[in-house]
């Protein structure tokens, strides 16, 4: 079953504007973590932001913020003031588990193009 869904294969945004990348997840585990990663064309995976299932406030890291709506099971990434260097693939991921071990599941990704 698909546990992480990123419905936007590709997105365009004008430089200096904000953009929201969608992510929905599915889990029955009350304890889980949500992560966003950036993968530039060079291939490396860069950690951006984390949100825990019990966190009351939305996570923020510089220009990145995570719009966490627990009831809707969504964890959208908001990038403010887009820069050309933000052009990359973005992955949403979820870690869940317990005694049997913790597994991290990634979504299919959203390719973001920032236009000058």
Report if residue 91 touches other proteins, rule: CB under 8 A.
Answer: yes
Nearer to other proteins by C-beta: 47 or 113?
A: 47
Report if residue 90 touches other proteins, rule: CB under 8 A.
Answer: no
Could you say which of 10, 18, 26, 46 contacts other proteins (CB under 8 A)? 46
Min CB(55)–other proteins separation in Å: 8
Q: How far out from the chain centre does Cα 79 lie?
A: 10
d(CA 71, CA 18): 24
The beta-carbon contacts of 39-46 under 8 Å, at least 24 apart in sequence, are 39/88, 39/89, 39/90, 39/91, 39/109, 40/87, 40/88, 40/89, 41/88, 45/91
Could you say which of 75, 96, 110, 112 contacts other proteins (CB under 8 A)? 96
Could you say which of 1, 9, 44, 71 contacts other proteins (CB under 8 A)? 44
Min CB(53)–other proteins separation in Å: 7
Report if residue 25 touches other proteins, rule: CB under 8 A.
Answer: no
Contacting positions for other proteins (CB under 8 A): 31-33, 35, 37, 43-47, 50-53, 59, 91, 95-97, 100-109
């Amino acid at each position: 079953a698909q546990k992480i869904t990123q419905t936007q294969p590709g997105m365009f945004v004008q430089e200096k504007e904000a953009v929201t990348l969608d992510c929905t997840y599915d889990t029955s585990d009350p304890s889980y973590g949500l992560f966003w990663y950036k993968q530039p064309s060079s291939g490396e995976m860069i950690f951006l932001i984390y949100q825990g299932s019990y966190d009351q406030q939305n996570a923020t890291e510089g220009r990145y913020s995570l719009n966490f709506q627990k009831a809707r099971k969504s964890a959208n990434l908001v990038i403010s003031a887009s820069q050309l260097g933000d052009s990359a693939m973005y992955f949403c991921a979820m870690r869940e588990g317990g005694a049997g071990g913790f597994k991290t599941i990634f979504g299919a990704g959203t390719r973001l193009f920032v236009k000058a």
